Amino acid sequence: MVAGIVLPSKPTTVLASANIVNGVYYSGNTETKNVSLMINVYWGTEFLDSMLKTLKDHNVKTTFFVGGSWVNDNPEVLKKVYAQGHEIANHGFYHKDHENLTAERNREEISYNHQVVKATIGVDMNLFAPPSGSYSKTTVKVANDLGYKTIMWTRDTIDWRDHDADLIYSRATSKMSGGDLILMHPTAQTAQALPKILDYIEQNGFLATTVSETLR
């Protein structure tokens, strides 16, 4: 534990209908129509205003997994995201390969991010998405000890690599199911695809909501 930081209590168990592998969550509750957009943020700040406007226009609250180093550089942007009612979650401090980190380094990455976010918006986060999806049993144990659920994804838009709005839309929506956790980042093409993705969700009877709500 980082000195002076009170971390949340250990995560509670979610419904058996969630896809949990070795303590890691790959989907939410598949018995609901809830889905969640997981927006991972270390870069792409210039596209967040557009994405936030789209989310607001659709009356959607979702989850932003933020990097601590990004928060240090963009505290006012984080405040804006949080003020609009979105859930804030932990994406590590320096975007490290957590699978290859010691227990202490895993703890530092998660705890330091917790500290800077708490200092900025007063929130105790309890969801952790390992950067690049890289984690080990040690990562999961450390996260759990710090009061965090470790979150992966059900579907990946791969928008950081493939700058194609149509492809991002297809990856986000094809064969969508309740409980889906949909990974994306702030890119120009993701911002372009987002209105269409949210239209699809609404028109097909799904509800876009936060990761915490989707896990229930």
Query: Per the structure, how many domains does the chain have?
Result: 1
Does residue 14 register a pLDDT over 80? no
Does residue 96 register a pLDDT over 70? yes
CA–chain centroid gap for 170, Å, is 20
Does residue 216 register a pLDDT over 50? yes
The confidence band for 17, taking pLDDT boundaries of 50, 70 and 90, is low
Is 55 part of any domain?
Answer: yes
Classify burial at 101, counting beta carbons within 10 Å of its beta carbon; exposed 0-12, middle 13-18, buried 19 or more.
buried
Is 8 part of any domain?
Answer: no
Range of the domain at 163: 20-215
Is 199 part of any domain?
Answer: yes
Residue range 89-115: average pLDDT?
A: 95
Average pLDDT score over the chain: 92
Is 61 part of any domain?
Answer: yes
The confidence band for 22, taking pLDDT boundaries of 50, 70 and 90, is confident
Is 123 part of any domain?
Answer: yes
Cα separation, 113 vs 2, whole angstroms: 10
User: C-alpha distances in angstroms, 99 versus 36, 41, 117?
Assistant: 25, 20, 23
CATH of the domain at 147: 3.20.20.370
Indicate the DSSP class of residue 24. Answer: E
Q: What is the pLDDT of residue 198?
A: 98
Q: What is the pLDDT of residue 1?
A: 34
The confidence band for 8, taking pLDDT boundaries of 50, 70 and 90, is very low
Does residue 34 register a pLDDT over 50? yes
